[in-house]
Chains A and B, each alone.
Chain A
């Protein structure tokens, strides 16, 4: 059982559609990060959320941290083929001592 449950695991959509990825846990995190990873590369940090209820926007991506700091969501508006990749949420429980990853969401956006 993973500490961070990420859903859905796979998502295949058409260009222009919206989507939401969820990251849930029963544990509280000091911060939660979202990464995007392309095949054969390391994950690249998209955003870090720290405060319960926090919402951050990165162009067409909107990230939200739950009020209790146990869950987070990533919403993509008008998805583009360039958004294709593996999206990973990761929780930091001890302020920099260790990062725990969710199972990942593999997104494919078809033109």
Chain B
């Protein structure tokens, strides 16, 4: 079945530094990938839609200069949290849709802690 690999699974960084999270579709090509943020005990909130070869589409209230998305190939999208602050600490999850299945496949998530 469709597999989406996300790493790192956990990262701790200092305030002011940048962190890159990778999301790869392992056995299928994904022209579109999605990035979500999830706060403790809450549901997933869509941050942006990553489009291969073009600019990402950001949801209202999400700073595009803060959360840089690059989708340079059909199997890889990256999310870079720039100048991270403690309030950016969260669980970030990516997903992609394999057209062979009805549904979306999610990565295992990245727990970001900014200290």
Contact = CB atoms under 8 A, between A and B. Distances in A.
Interface of A: 6, 31, 33, 35, 40-45, 48, 50, 88, 90, 96-104, 106
B95 A40 contact: no
B42 A103 contact: yes
Tell me which of B4, B44, B95, B97 has the highest count of chain A C-beta atoms within 10 A of its own C-beta: B44
Given A41-B109, A96-B97, A103-B42, 14 more contacts: A33-B103, A33-B104, A35-B106, A40-B91, A40-B109, A40-B111, A42-B106, A48-B102, A50-B102, A97-B32, A97-B49, A99-B34, A101-B44, A106-B41
A42 B107 contact: yes
B93 interface: yes
Contacts of A44: 106
Given A31-B102, A42-B93, A103 B43 contact: yes
Contacts, number: 57
Interface of B is mostly: strand
A44 B9 CA distance: 16
B43 A41 contact: no
Contacts of B103: 33, 45, 48
A45 B105 contact: yes
A7 to B, nearest CB: 13
B46 A98 contact: yes
Contacts of A48: 102-103
Contacts of A43: 44, 93, 106
B75 interface: no
A96 B91 CA distance: 23
B16 to A, nearest CB: 26
Contacts of B105: 45
Contacts of A90: 104
